Structure 1
Amino acid sequence: MRIAERKASRRLEMVSCPTARTRLLTDLPEETIIEILLRLPARTLASLRSVCTSWRNLISAPDFTCNHLRRSCLIAPSLTTPRIAYCTGAYRNGLRCSRIGLLSVRSILDDPSEPTKNDCFTEQRYYGIIGSCNGLLCLVDEHAFKYMHAILWNPCTGFTFESPEISGEVRFSGFGYDHLSDSYKIYAVTKKQGPSGFEFSTRIYTFGPTSTWRKIDDTPVALFGFPSDNSSRAVKKEGEFFGSSRLCTLNWCVNHVVIYFDLAKETYGHFPLPPRSEIGFPKWCTHLCVLRNCLSVCYLDGRTLEWIVWQMKEYGDAQSWTKLAVIPVPEKITYPGRYFQPLYISESDVLLVFCPSFGIVLCNLNDGSIDFSEIYGSGVRNKPVFSACVKYRITCIYHESLVSPNGLQSNSSKMLMHFIKSKPKPVDS
């Protein structure tokens, strides 16, 4: 018995000794270390990069980040915590500036009545949100309808990358992942004054060290009346990204159809939306989103003042549209607060919706109850000041990851780096 006690005491000494702990970790095969690290959340791994040079190189390696993303998508979704990114605008000294906030979905779901803390970033320039994909946020900096450039940002790692400027007013845009070439692309339709009037041009930018904007054929788009000025008010400017193992597309609602752009083949197609009432129906109240890995659409029924949410179980198959939810518009939400944008649906069937008048709204699809989440931060009544009349989307969902396209290094300007470095201490959920 005494021998067993001495052995147990010796084991405890080995565990409590920093030197022994380091030596034992060093003795582990690299494959074992990689397997252990792959099981940790993205935010934890981002912090562990500062442990030593070898860990930084390992965690930042493209193969590791790709494997971690694949594991988090297929095996353990908890490794990439879902968050909400929102953008608000204001004027300071006559200049438009922006504030980007990052909210924890888990904190909102756990206790909506308790104000949710957020990470805030401020800058003296205005940034809009084009979209998100694989933990990357695509922002845009546009100047007086003359030019714009895109900024790729991974809030988890601090990675930033700017595209070259593109001239003209951006009428429609989109951001997503091309699974065939393993690359991230921006789609943009620009409008410029030409000799015979306004001219439209469709261009693609693939994030890379030597990439430039290149023009592509936009004739098929014109067949659907997109992107003419007549349709611009009825079409949401940013395409909704949908990705799967067999295709990756950007999607827009135009009249009664969904027009999509295949990021890999760089071709267009379309399919019909589910049936809807046209009585008192404002076209701008149609919203595409992705819920539970299905392309979904939400629109306001003009007769009943209810929000109808549909899911497309098989992408591109119009027969697979399935009604997911019918949500009565709360009396306290009045026009223009009836602008609803679905963001995320939890495992317990709670739908998170964005409403400019109230911020984040929680709709319980099981009992029909509706709750309003409080948010810490600048703005009236503990809510950021949202505006329904903005050119770019206000909110989007992103999942934390370690991704940086093709191992690119940050190339952003000093101004943008100041914007990124103004981040306060992160709030874990």
Structure 2
Amino acid sequence: MSEKSLNNNEYGVDNPIPIFIHEKPHRKVLTGLKLLTESYKTVGSHYKIRPSTDKQQDHVSTHQTQLPHDLLMHHILAKMPIKSLLQSKLVSKQWYSTVSSNEFANLHLKTCFSSYYPMISHVECLFIQAEKGFYLFHIQEEDVVIHYSLVKLEPNFGYNPQNKLYLVGSCNGLVCLSDSVTGYFYLWNPVIYHWMRFSDFFLGSGYKCHASWGFGYVSSANDYKVVKIEQKYDTNEVIVLLFSLQTKVWKQIFDHGLEDGVSLTKTSPGVLVNDTLFWIIDHPIKRHIVVGFDLVLEKFEEIPGLTPRSSVSFRDHFLCVMGGCLALYSSNLYKKGCVSILKPSGHVDSISVCSKSDSWSCTSLVGFTRTGKSLVVSKNWELGVIDLDSSPREYLTLITFDKTRDNPCILSFFPSLISLMKV
């Protein structure tokens, strides 16, 4: 890995979010969603769709009619990268119809998960919210070299730009954003540039409360759900609300399973693993506990395997996803931290983190790279990579953000063709 210092002056970048590209010489930084389809690359794919003449189109159409549709969809198109699929819509009406269908979008998503991410163990794309901007960050790692690029997204939700949108979560290529001022929330697929706006359950009710959101997917029902936990300031009553994308209806969960006396002091979004959303909440006796809301059963349960440390010195706790597993990060005033990863077997693996550098004091862990390094959002408004197995531990800054009131929000993102209109 290059020892070269990464800073604005060296690269001559005058940008709130400096972009450092570790790729081939003269590689350009591409911005805008249209350019995303021209820049997105998938490892090992070499598909190219070129404009054709009328005679070539007739030749393609003639041979295409001889190709069984099932073979075309399941064994050819389903294995193509998104960049090529978006271009392949120009081949014929049949290809356009096939690639645009949600049946194919779901098939392509499942094929990608099984082919490219057998264990969903590493991250190759991130969704970033920095100030009021949105970005897709693509990362590919070899043994000692990291290639990455940043794509700026330009959504037009038609909302008041003075209102801050809060990143709730990402699942199957869909992103959920909430607007606490207007009471609306948005579901958005930034790859196909499709979004929908929905009303909050208590839109216009006017009472004040703490609120935390969560966004997830129920595979057995092919349904996307939004969960909102509210706690009233005056009575401390906890209210659990659930929105289904299939029904487009909110409902209140009365038998939610949370004990009396629990408190929602942190409003961080729920962390999704499989069909469950997880939160850290305050408990009157145990101090802090981790609870999971099963999106199928629509009920909370305490997770005994992960327990935030009760020591006074350990003040920072957050949940994240590492290698497809739920993880708990705890840190103290002495820059010592611990990452506890809950395996599917129920066993908890713990990794100690001790640093003399502020860059390692993180606000979020995003996941593992292909070679097992950890992607970190630090308290210095940086996205970086830490090799926890190295001694001394190596830290590399990928992006430095402008320091504002809020740290950047960064989530793992898996690009897809899912259309909200057809869910």
What TM-score, normalized to structure 1? 0.72
Q: Relative to structure 1, is the Cα distance of residues 44 and 365 closer, same or farther in structure 2, using a 3 angstrom cutoff? A: farther
Letter in 1 for 2:271: E
Q: Relative to structure 1, is the Cα distance of residues 108 and 360 closer, same or farther in structure 2, using a 3 angstrom cutoff? A: farther
Letter in 1 for 2:357: E
Task: Name which of 297, 301, 309 aligns with 1:265.
Answer: 297
Structure 1 residues 68-147: aligned runs within 5 Å: 68-77=108-117, 82-89=124-131, 98-106=132-140, 111=145, 116-121=149-154, 124=161, 125-143=163-181, 147=182
Residue range with higher mean Cα deviation, 360-369 or 286-295: 360-369
Structure 1 residues 177-192: aligned runs within 5 Å: 177-191=217-231
Q: Relative to structure 1, is the Cα distance of residues 155 and 189 closer, same or farther in structure 2, using a 3 angstrom cutoff? A: same
Q: How far apart, in 2, do the equivalents of 1:330 and 1:166 lie?
A: 46
Q: How far apart, in 1, do the equivalents of 2:141 and 2:363 lie?
A: 21
Corresponding residue number in structure 1 for 2:94:
54
Partners of 1:81 and 1:400 within 8 A in 2: no
Does 2:324 match 1:293? yes
DSSP-derived class of the 1:38 partner: helix
Task: Name which of 187, 195, 203 aligns with 2:241.
Answer: 203
Task: Name which of 209, 214, 221 aligns with 2:258.
Answer: 221
Corresponding residue number in structure 2 for 1:427:
none
Letter in 1 for 2:124: P
Q: Relative to structure 1, is the Cα distance of residues 216 and 356 closer, same or farther in structure 2, using a 3 angstrom cutoff? A: same
Q: How far apart, in 1, do the equivalents of 2:411 and 2:92 lie?
A: 34
Q: How far apart, in 2, do the equivalents of 1:191 and 1:332 lie?
A: 34
Partners of 1:130 and 1:175 within 8 A in 2: yes
Corresponding residue number in structure 2 for 1:242:
273
Corresponding residue number in structure 1 for 2:419:
404
Which structure has more helix as a fraction of its residues?
1
DSSP-derived class of the 2:65 partner: helix
Deviation per CA, 1:114-167: give whole Å up to 9, x if none: 884332436724211001111111111120xxx522211111111212222333
Partners of 2:278 and 2:293 within 8 A in 1: yes
Corresponding residue number in structure 1 for 2:384:
361
Deviation per CA, 1:381-415: give whole Å up to 9, x if none: xx33254647xx8111111111235714xxxxxxx
Q: How far apart, in 2, do the equivalents of 1:171 and 1:275 lie?
A: 21
Instruction: In structure 2, list runs of 5 or more residues that go unmatched.
Output: 1-54, 282-286
Corresponding residue number in structure 2 for 1:6:
none
Query: Which protein is bigger by CA-based radius of gyration?
Result: 1
Letter in 2 for 1:360: L
Q: What is the CA-CA distance between 1:189 and the residue it aligns to?
A: 2.1
Does 2:355 match 1:329? yes
Task: Name which of 330, 333, 338 aligns with 1:308.
Answer: 338
Corresponding residue number in structure 2 for 1:160:
195
Corresponding residue number in structure 2 for 1:419:
none
Q: Please report the RMSD computed on the Cα atoms of aligned residues, expressed in angstroms.
A: 3.2
Q: How many pairs were matched up? A: 349
Instruction: In structure 1, list runs of 5 or more residues that go unmatched.
Output: 1-15, 90-97, 376-382, 409-429
DSSP-derived class of the 1:286 partner: strand
What TM-score, normalized to structure 2? 0.73
Q: Relative to structure 1, is the Cα distance of residues 276 and 109 closer, same or farther in structure 2, using a 3 angstrom cutoff? A: farther
